[in-house]
Structure 1
Amino acid sequence: MIDYKQKLTTDREFYPIENLEYSIESDRGRILSSPAFRRLQKRTQVFALELNASIRTRLTHSLEVSQTARFIAKNILSILQKDGLVTYGLEGCENAFISTAEMTSLLHDIGNPPFGHFAEQTINKWIKENALPFIETFPAISDKTKELKVTLSQDLCNYDGNAQAIRVITKLQRLNLSYTQIASVVKYTRGAYEAKPQKGEPFDYLMKKPGFYYSEKGFIEKIQDKLNIKHGCRFPLTYIMEAADDISYLTADLEDSVEKGILNLDKVYELIKAECEKEGETYLLEVIQERYDQAKKNDEPYQFSMFFTLVRAKLVTSLVYHVVDIYINNHEAIFEGSFNSALLEYDKESKYYKAIKILQAISAKHIYQNKDVQTLELQGYTIINELLNIFKPLLELTCKDFEALLHDEKIECFIAMRLIKRISSKQIVAYQNDVKALDRVDEEQFELLEWYHRVRLVIDYISGMTDDFALHEYQTLLAL
């Protein structure tokens, strides 16, 4: 039975707000006022350290996603209205439904590191090569500790922006959002410590990437229990955010590449036309041909803007109606969170799916593989890698020395005494809260888990930087 009142609730970790409307508006205010949200304006979408303000950042991208999510949510409600919203437990919850989808979209990239997805790979490579050897030095007499070492090793090598978002929301920013809002951000339902399912296994799509870390395992389980979300399943409105994100990517990178001078309007048109003809795809070809002809009739300075504005408007509207149909037609599975596909990838024979694949292929070949773009990625790799190297001494300390360090006591490692002063107090408090909750009776496990949370502390600090701050820290600490 579909009853959204089970999902759209006022529950939160502390200081609950009993009125649903007030609770939802409180979430909105907390998100928009969050420093982590503001930092998205200085994080890479595709082009790192970009001075041209018209090029998309994580912030402007998130704003576009939120608008598309709002459009999708309103259209879903419009169709459900025909059966009566009370049938689905949505009467009086319309604003909660729309706002949750919209705010989830604003939050969806809040855990992404500086310099984009390339930095995720950089962090994981560094952890595997530099941090994991330390974990082997911890004694593991009991089978339980041996198992924990394997679990934590797996977890630490799976840094992911989606999982980091949950840490940012719940611990680093301590936003105290409603469980509804937090659950909607969990895009993938696998813990970073869990094995990735093989293709064809249950929830192989929903669990293809890490959605949260071992450090947030208990909190996520608490939310899932409260909102009746089964293991491996998703919160229903997350599907809307994901679809809005996919739709927003359609022409965005192509637009920015023209703004950057990598491509031009005629080249974009030629690439799309050639790819459509090669694949025998007519829908996208018709869309771009009509809009290209319209744009070329206008004065030269406006051709570029006219073409993309018209193409984007047509594609976004069509794709929104398409994903709304899929949401409605698979409503029960989506409500349960067991629908094992992205909405836009569900019907692989649809003209919309084929259009998306063509646009993605063009971006991958002609933008992401561009020499200048890859140069920026290599620079980001160097910056992140060197910063992790600089802060490595904090991971080499004993548990006792690190505790002394946090109490401003003098220790032998004079470098660590200076490094710790650079880390945000919010991040240190998050570490201390996690360690405080540990059981100290089993010293073997305590020291292992303390070190795990210390690694998280270093990752939190570096992954939480903006592009320009990371560059500044790199230049400062390497005396460049």
Structure 2
Amino acid sequence: MIRENIENIEEKYLHPKATKSKDAKREREEKECNIRTAFQRDRDRILHSKAFRRLKHKTQVFMAPEGDHYRTRLTHTLEVSQIARTIARALRLNEDLVEAIAYGHDLGHTPFGHAGEFILKEGGSYHHAKHSLRVVEKLENEGEGLNLTIQVKDGILKHSKGKSPLIAENGMPQTLEGQIIRIADKIAYINHDLEDAIRAGIISYQDIPKEITSILGKTKSERITTIVLSVINSTIENDYKYIVMEDKIYDAMYKLRDFLFENVYNSKPVTSQLDKAKSVVKALFEYYAKNYWEIPFYYKYLDKWGEYNPIQASVDYVAGMTDRFAIKKYTEIFIPKGWAVI
């Protein structure tokens, strides 16, 4: 079978510490595909999911931008995948596993980016990484879930690094491939958000501190190349114990992240719109928590799962909305319509 040939090639070619497709595990056993490996099937299931398609209309940083070239949550996902696959190939790790995790890592993001996440956190224990896992385990496939491998789900759940150390005692992905996504996510958004902010006129190239550009490079291509090469070389040097990079590169990357928070994410052009977005998400969340019977899938999933909390149902529904669908529902519910006299 073709799949078995691919698995044999992995055994011969991939690094001894790479995650092999033959070792993939699912919580629900199913018949193997004759053509694709388990991680290839996971990638394809995510790619064909409704949650993946919705990413094209979810905010990265700039909401509903008029220009065609600003990033969305979907283009971010594709850039993470490209960077991660470059690292994985150079290190002879499993590209299919890396790609599957990359495609699934942000499925749980709310409309309007982190503004929506901020509101749903107030309503419970929402976190986009945990909700991404919920999407693939329960919400997709009409409430049946995608039955992804344990390795892919682990990478999705633990992809979000925040300000935690590069090597953390808790929350590290169990595979090196998952650790690649944890870093590739940062590499991608720091560099593409910087490029979008310059395109929007919020900052200019000259505003980037020279202590950063002197280490990472002046252009997006130079910066990504510098960081990726550091990850590859440093991981080889530490004998694949962890996916790492040089301290000076890591420090420069985080100084660039801090620069973005101070000058872009917390800038008035961005926050003025995010405050409006928070109001929309908050109103929708509170409305559907009280009127849960209006959630299309509420009773259908109640039959599948048994008891279903109205608060969780509201989180599931609102988090899954695209920006434009959230605005549409907000308008339908809260904006009065003119009365047409006949």
The TM-score range, normalised by the shorter chain, is 0.7 to 0.9
Query: 1:420 Cα shift?
Result: 1.7
Match of 2:116 among 119, 129, 154: 119
Cα distance in 2 between the residues matched to 1:238 and 1:2? 13
Match of 1:460 among 307, 310, 316: 316
- State how 1:99-118 maps to structure 2 within 5 Å: 99-118=96-115
Query: 1:22 Cα shift?
Result: 3.7
- Contact map agreement 2:21 2:39 (CA 8 A) in 1: no
Cα distance in 1 between the residues matched to 2:63 and 2:192? 15
Cα distance in 1 between the residues matched to 2:37 and 2:17? 24
SS in structure 1 of the partner of residue 293 of structure 2: helix
Residue equivalent to 1:276: 210
Match of 1:367 among 264, 271, 275: 264
Residue equivalent to 2:198: 258
- 374-383 vs 248-257, greater mean Cα deviation: 248-257
Residue equivalent to 1:181: 152
Residue equivalent to 1:51: 66
Match of 1:206 among 145, 150, 170: 170
- Asked which structure has the greater CA Rg, the reply is 1
Write 1 or 2 for the structure with the bigger share of helix.
Answer: 1
Residue equivalent to 1:31: 46
- Contact map agreement 1:40 1:57 (CA 8 A) in 2: yes
Q: Residues 6 and 74 from structure 1, CA distance in 2 versus in 1: closer, same or farther, beyond 3 angstroms?
A: closer
- Contact map agreement 1:186 1:234 (CA 8 A) in 2: no
2:240 corresponds to 1:240: no
Residue equivalent to 1:343: 244
Residue equivalent to 2:231: 323
When the two structures are superposed, what TM-score results if normalisation uses the length of structure 2? 0.81
- Contact map agreement 1:69 1:101 (CA 8 A) in 2: yes
Q: Cα deviation per residue 1:205-243 (whole Å; 9 max; x = unaligned)?
A: 534xxxxxxxxxxxxxxxxxxxxxxxx763331111111
SS in structure 1 of the partner of residue 176 of structure 2: coil
2:324 corresponds to 1:476: no
- Contact map agreement 2:108 2:132 (CA 8 A) in 1: yes
Cα distance in 1 between the residues matched to 2:176 and 2:39? 17
Residue equivalent to 2:82: 67
Q: Residues 74 and 167 from structure 1, CA distance in 2 versus in 1: closer, same or farther, beyond 3 angstroms?
A: same
- Contact map agreement 2:105 2:159 (CA 8 A) in 1: no
Query: 1:76 Cα shift?
Result: 0.4
- Contact map agreement 2:27 2:150 (CA 8 A) in 1: yes
Identity, % of aligned pairs? 28
Q: Which runs of 5+ in 2 are unaligned?
A: 1-15, 337-342
Cα distance in 2 between the residues matched to 1:354 and 1:69? 20
Q: Cα deviation per residue 1:88-131 (whole Å; 9 max; x = unaligned)?
A: xxxxxx6xx10110221121111111111122221122x2xxxx
Q: Cα deviation per residue 1:159-209 (whole Å; 9 max; x = unaligned)?
A: 1000000110111012222333223212169xxxxxxxxx99xx86534xx
Query: 1:324 Cα shift?
Result: 1.9
Residue equivalent to 1:424: 296
Q: Residues 172 and 244 from structure 1, CA distance in 2 versus in 1: closer, same or farther, beyond 3 angstroms?
A: same
- State how 1:138-217 maps to structure 2 within 5 Å: 157-173=124-140, 174-187=145-158, 206-207=170-171
Q: Cα deviation per residue 1:278-307 (whole Å; 9 max; x = unaligned)?
A: x8x8424xx32xxxxxxxxxxxxxxxxxxx
SS in structure 2 of the partner of residue 75 of structure 1: helix
Matched residues, number: 314
Match of 1:379 among 267, 276, 299: 276
SS in structure 1 of the partner of residue 120 of structure 2: helix
SS in structure 2 of the partner of residue 237 of structure 1: helix
